[in-house]
Amino acid sequence: MSGMQQSFDAGQTKGNTQAKVEQWTDSIQDTADAACRDRTSPGAQSTWDSAQMEKDQSAGFLQQTGEQVKHVAQDAMDSVKNTLGIGQNQK
């Protein structure tokens, strides 16, 4: 075999080896990424669920607070009207 042929064959073998290594590296990376997603997915879902529950609780608290403020304001307005003699209780 000539020196050129040997160099060509060596280069071809090196290229094939590099391609295989890249395929294996990509495969390993994909497997690692999938494992991380599988491992973190339940945690992420749990965090999302907790955030949704906190959001719902906050909305409920704000709704209750808004209703209380509304009632206090209504009572204050009724008290002022009664004091001025224009309330419904003054007939």
18, pLDDT greater than 60: yes
The whole-angstrom distance between residue 13's C-alpha and the CA centroid of its chain comes to: 47
Tens of pLDDT, residue by residue over 25-59, are 888 887 877 776 666 666 666 777 787 788 788 88
For residue 44, give every residue at least 6 positions away whose Cβ sits within 8 Å of its Cβ, in sequence order, or none.
none
Alpha helices in the chain (DSSP H): 3-84
Provide the percentage of residues in the chain whose pLDDT is more than 90: 0
Say if residues 33 and 25 touch (Cβ distance below 8 Å): no
pLDDT band at residue 84 under the 50/70/90 scheme: confident
| DSSP-derived 3-state class of residue 88 | coil
